[in-house]
Structure 1
């Protein structure tokens, strides 16, 4: 018997022992995930026998990492004071660094990592994210997103690595490996592959919409990253908001139980997404295979009481409950929480370390994609007379996108980050002017104009949805920046900060050089390092690039199904200085 199999059998025996002693209330408690604020108060962790806590948008556990750890420790002590003393799992949406904690290292969003196509770098980023997440008290991250986006109207394109199944598979493996490592080490966390399945392939890119893909298409195009995650031992998989053939994924037993748990042999936790119980069928989602429920925003009492009644009446078999609890306990044992349930305070000083930021800056450099470089205007000379144009040029919040400090991101600078302008001024041997309003600076020879999308996250970032604040083209204000400097006769370098490919065909024609920077995160300096030639461009498009808004009249945008629609640039395109 191998060491891995022996360890598995030891854990299973411990789970058997616990399950034999558990009441139905204790089992349902283990299946419950709540926020540390609003959903609970006082000694609710103890009295309601809660199994997991989530931190998300809302009141912070404190201002410092020490205070965050103290909050986690207090809640953990409540859990350990229960009859069976089962420790809590603490989950957080750390999707590009520990992005809920101001001062942590924030990496480029996954779309940028997809442009790097560097699995070693993705693994390093995940490892650092895990360490800084544990340093703030959390042992479970809801990452990586392994969706494969089919339509840029979807507001979560940036959370995914690529439209390429092959690239997504390779980087999924690296991310899970980096996050989890040896789970019993205090610097590692439980990872979550999400959102199962079809979140990025809904018709017309609607968040939580229906996907009309056939099951064969799902298996061929969308399933391989999940198989890769399972092969790497991923601890959890999150169900998706979308429907498949008009069946809610949360209640899709054929895909969750039969396919994921059966054919793929996934032995971890299937966790619901936000308010999964009340939104997607209550006890139907449990019978479909959901193991842990985000019982948030008023769902706690209804979930626990409703499920207990369903078990009592036979609507939900007790065997289904025991299977769910077994999966939850299995991951708690794998994490070593029964032996070491509390955060490691020695990790606090490692948050935002210089060496962590150096890896993040490397990720920025390798994510940048050069689409145009006419007359080799790039790389810039250190003594070039430059004006950096636009509010995005000196704002770390705008350059980082959603899921940064706040759920929907921030439009302000945040602690520990370096802006693009700061990076330019570190490298240039002469003063770099800054024209925030794009009003025009006639003294410079070259205008580096930073344009793009203001931060957004799920639902709010959908194009054409109920909250229609975003578009597939540049805003009129950003277009005016470019027009102003063209009228002044300046050389134009456009840097696009975006969470998805945008239709910028006219702006590419207007510019002398065009750079896609995606959402670089906290290390804006990395952009300057490449534009000044300290490093060459390495990034390649993780998505084919659209040429026209009309290309999005179909369900899946310009990149799928219709061979007559040709992209402006193909998947994998990206210039380098000596190829330009």
Structure 2
């Protein structure tokens, strides 16, 4: 990799020598075992039926997996009956048991244990849980993403776990998709900046360090753009769009040093991700230069046979996937992959060279992660749920919340205001966090820590006035609308807390972005009282709120701000924090009005318009900002030169606040139609009232490039526009 130090190169060389030596000693069965990943339930001690006790391992099953089948990786948390977070001590006990059993194997090759720690150490009890990725993108603050990576890696390692299935580098351009909130939004540059920073924080310069861990890029590639919006359904992405929008984030993740990649669970242009040699080998290896290993998603090699009907048998499915470039199979409930691949290798249908290639990649990452010579785990005290880590998460939550509307400065509210709070998301911790929180779907409210605050509890703690709550104990519990109407006269403002229940993956599939009728009825009744209404939304997708938002005095889009989200929302409502979040997606006005901000000319021509309810980058403050003096250093630049851009930003209001200054470009005329604008740089600054700061940006030739007619990246000479705020300046690229 470019820029690596001599010592790093020497370390790589030493590791390659160790891998080669170890590989020479391995039997075929030991090699295939390394390519096999099973769920914890395969080794778990049963309580009754299919249920497994928290953290308890059946030693005979474990030895069957590690000694007889030579399994190289295990994933997931224990279950009663569903996977859920475990105490730190339980995780440490599990990992010690695995290490002790590994010591009994012939070659003592360590297991690499994978977990979905997507917004903190999600499967360790009482870990610091950050806002979800869509919120982190709304901060426009890569430093916070870096810190999230640092804290997550440290708490994962404190737990004894070794490998994080994060970050999601898919681009979130289909708002129906139930994993939209796991992405960094719809823009390539923003997602790249946030993902790179997370990886660097999580891995540091050496992910074998005691407080670091390897990351895994998900879900390579095109998974996030299903045509019908439903999870694990086909995407129709041409190669130009793939290279323009979907590959760059993964290329950035590879360049940032992520050593593993998880594969798209669906299909693109008729080819399932796990069968796509062009994507997995030709592009990922040959073009992006990826040197680590790929891991399948959940049971997806089997699904080439059971679901996709691409393979005529389970054995053929294994052959197709391995030959396409899958190195490790998340089987996950049995050893069928192991058995079938051994047969395929013995028959010569899968060459030993391909198996050696895959195993070498896996072993290399295990050496790089320090698993062969494990360091003592970080002590729990000061490294787990540390006060400064919790405060970082709380600050991320504050910076992620978007103030979308504030008519007549209805916000901030006075501390002694009489507030009527109602709506299904008002008094639940789960709806602040979303999926992958303590449990897979994140919906087990009874498992959430009681010391964390819901929106209601946070308001009650801060208020010096009257806070009345009318709602149910669960998301779907009926709310007494007449009681809301009757109580409204006794209050200054109605805070209407609407949104979604928790979900991820296929359980989150929906038919429409419209919110359910019960919430619409509640909103209509609240607005009809004539009292000022502030709308607060929580959830992972932009559900359609247009009619409500147009009549509300204030609108706050909170999405999934994490475990500290209740307090962060209260801070903003009462003015203890000046909001500075900006939308990382275009918020649609209607359920079928899905147009991203970087739309093409035909999408805003004749009768077509970009008319979201709130555009990408939208976000208000309790102060005001103004940009001015936008300049480029030269009107004409030669091909291959950088372009220097400067702009001034001033706090023109009465309060201290933060502003994200977004720089866009437009290629005026090109051989392939260009977006109206594309984000190419941003900086977040904090300014006192009246303070002005001059910001400098450097645009590179890469920033001016696009995927040309021949599907190669190109910069064409001609005119370009640079846009910041309400200003536009131009420059010309010459040969």
Q: Which TM bucket (shorter chain)?
A: over 0.9
Alpha-carbon deviations, 1:167-203, whole Å to 9, x = none?
A: 0111110111111113121111110111000011121
Of stretches 418-427 and 324-333 in structure 1, the one that deviates more from structure 2 is 418-427
For 2:669, the equivalent position in structure 1 comes to none
State how 1:32-43 maps to structure 2 within 5 Å. Answer: 32-38=36-42, 41-43=61-63
Taking the aligned partners of 1:352 and 1:420, their CA distance within structure 2 comes to 21
Partner-residue secondary structure (3-state), 2:508: coil
Q: Against the structure 1 CA distance between its residues 287 and 348, is the aligned structure 2 distance closer, same or farther, given a 3 Å change threshold?
A: farther
Checking the alignment, whether the CA contact within 8 Å between 2:164 and 2:216 is kept in structure 1 is: yes
Of stretches 556-565 and 507-516 in structure 1, the one that deviates more from structure 2 is 556-565
Determine if the alignment matches structure 1 residue 339 to structure 2 residue 373: yes
Q: Against the structure 1 CA distance between its residues 234 and 345, is the aligned structure 2 distance closer, same or farther, given a 3 Å change threshold?
A: closer
For 1:571, the equivalent position in structure 2 comes to 616
Q: What is the TM-score of this pair, normalised by structure 2?
A: 0.75
Taking the aligned partners of 1:274 and 1:411, their CA distance within structure 2 comes to 22
Q: CA deviation at 1:62?
A: 8.3
Taking the aligned partners of 2:557 and 2:621, their CA distance within structure 1 comes to 13
For 2:34, the equivalent position in structure 1 comes to 30
Q: CA deviation at 1:519?
A: 0.7
For 1:282, the equivalent position in structure 2 comes to 318
For 1:295, the equivalent position in structure 2 comes to 331
Checking the alignment, whether the CA contact within 8 Å between 1:184 and 1:335 is kept in structure 2 is: yes
For 1:527, the equivalent position in structure 2 comes to 569
Partner-residue secondary structure (3-state), 1:450: strand
Checking the alignment, whether the CA contact within 8 Å between 1:235 and 1:331 is kept in structure 2 is: yes
**Greater per-residue helix proportion:** 1
Checking the alignment, whether the CA contact within 8 Å between 1:94 and 1:142 is kept in structure 2 is: yes
Q: CA deviation at 1:291?
A: 0.8
State how 1:50-61 maps to structure 2 within 5 Å. Answer: 50-56=71-77, 58-59=79-80
Q: CA deviation at 1:309?
A: 1.0
Partner-residue secondary structure (3-state), 1:337: coil
Taking the aligned partners of 2:85 and 2:173, their CA distance within structure 1 comes to 39
- Please, which of 51, 61, 72 is the counterpart of residue 95 of structure 2? 72
Q: Against the structure 1 CA distance between its residues 510 and 39, is the aligned structure 2 distance closer, same or farther, given a 3 Å change threshold?
A: farther
For 1:46, the equivalent position in structure 2 comes to 67
Q: CA deviation at 1:27?
A: 0.6
Partner-residue secondary structure (3-state), 2:173: coil
Q: CA deviation at 1:460?
A: 1.4
For 2:57, the equivalent position in structure 1 comes to none
Checking the alignment, whether the CA contact within 8 Å between 1:546 and 1:558 is kept in structure 2 is: no
Taking the aligned partners of 1:568 and 1:96, their CA distance within structure 2 comes to 28
Q: CA deviation at 1:565?
A: 4.3
Partner-residue secondary structure (3-state), 2:335: helix
Q: Against the structure 1 CA distance between its residues 550 and 262, is the aligned structure 2 distance closer, same or farther, given a 3 Å change threshold?
A: closer
Q: CA deviation at 1:57?
A: 7.2
- Please, which of 307, 317, 323 is the counterpart of residue 351 of structure 2? 317
Q: Which runs of 5+ in 1 are unaligned?
A: 465-470
Taking the aligned partners of 1:541 and 1:502, their CA distance within structure 2 comes to 14
Taking the aligned partners of 1:131 and 1:570, their CA distance within structure 2 comes to 36
Q: CA deviation at 1:76?
A: 2.1
Q: Which runs of 5+ in 2 are unaligned?
A: 45-60, 305-316, 472-478, 626-735
Of stretches 494-503 and 345-354 in structure 1, the one that deviates more from structure 2 is 345-354
Checking the alignment, whether the CA contact within 8 Å between 2:428 and 2:445 is kept in structure 1 is: yes
- Please, which of 462, 469, 475 is the counterpart of residue 427 of structure 1? 462
- Please, which of 368, 387, 394 is the counterpart of residue 354 of structure 1? 387
Taking the aligned partners of 1:429 and 1:146, their CA distance within structure 2 comes to 44
Taking the aligned partners of 1:540 and 1:163, their CA distance within structure 2 comes to 13
Taking the aligned partners of 1:9 and 1:371, their CA distance within structure 2 comes to 53
Q: Count how many residue pairs are aligned between Structure 1 and Structure 2.
A: 568
For 1:468, the equivalent position in structure 2 comes to none
Taking the aligned partners of 1:449 and 1:61, their CA distance within structure 2 comes to 31
For 1:220, the equivalent position in structure 2 comes to 244
Q: Against the structure 1 CA distance between its residues 478 and 348, is the aligned structure 2 distance closer, same or farther, given a 3 Å change threshold?
A: farther
State how 1:180-259 maps to structure 2 within 5 Å. Answer: 180-181=203-204, 182-259=206-283
Determine if the alignment matches structure 1 residue 307 to structure 2 residue 364: no
Determine if the alignment matches structure 1 residue 10 to structure 2 residue 14: yes
Q: CA deviation at 1:267?
A: 0.8
Alpha-carbon deviations, 1:64-86, whole Å to 9, x = none?
A: 21122101210222123211111
Q: CA deviation at 1:314?
A: 1.6
Taking the aligned partners of 1:421 and 1:188, their CA distance within structure 2 comes to 36
State how 1:432-511 maps to structure 2 within 5 Å. Answer: 432-436=467-471, 437=479, 439-440=483-484, 441-442=487-488, 443-464=490-511, 471-511=512-552
For 2:396, the equivalent position in structure 1 comes to 363
Q: CA deviation at 1:345?
A: 5.9
Determine if the alignment matches structure 1 residue 261 to structure 2 residue 285: yes
Of stretches 277-286 and 89-98 in structure 1, the one that deviates more from structure 2 is 277-286
For 1:467, the equivalent position in structure 2 comes to none
Rg bigger for which structure? 2
Checking the alignment, whether the CA contact within 8 Å between 1:155 and 1:457 is kept in structure 2 is: yes
Taking the aligned partners of 2:43 and 2:241, their CA distance within structure 1 comes to 40
Taking the aligned partners of 1:521 and 1:50, their CA distance within structure 2 comes to 35
Q: What is the TM-score of this pair, normalised by structure 1?
A: 0.94
Checking the alignment, whether the CA contact within 8 Å between 2:432 and 2:538 is kept in structure 1 is: yes
Q: Against the structure 1 CA distance between its residues 550 and 232, is the aligned structure 2 distance closer, same or farther, given a 3 Å change threshold?
A: closer
Checking the alignment, whether the CA contact within 8 Å between 2:210 and 2:378 is kept in structure 1 is: no
Taking the aligned partners of 1:382 and 1:148, their CA distance within structure 2 comes to 40
Q: CA deviation at 1:394?
A: 1.7
For 2:48, the equivalent position in structure 1 comes to none
Partner-residue secondary structure (3-state), 1:193: strand
Taking the aligned partners of 2:528 and 2:506, their CA distance within structure 1 comes to 38
Q: Against the structure 1 CA distance between its residues 387 and 353, is the aligned structure 2 distance closer, same or farther, given a 3 Å change threshold?
A: farther
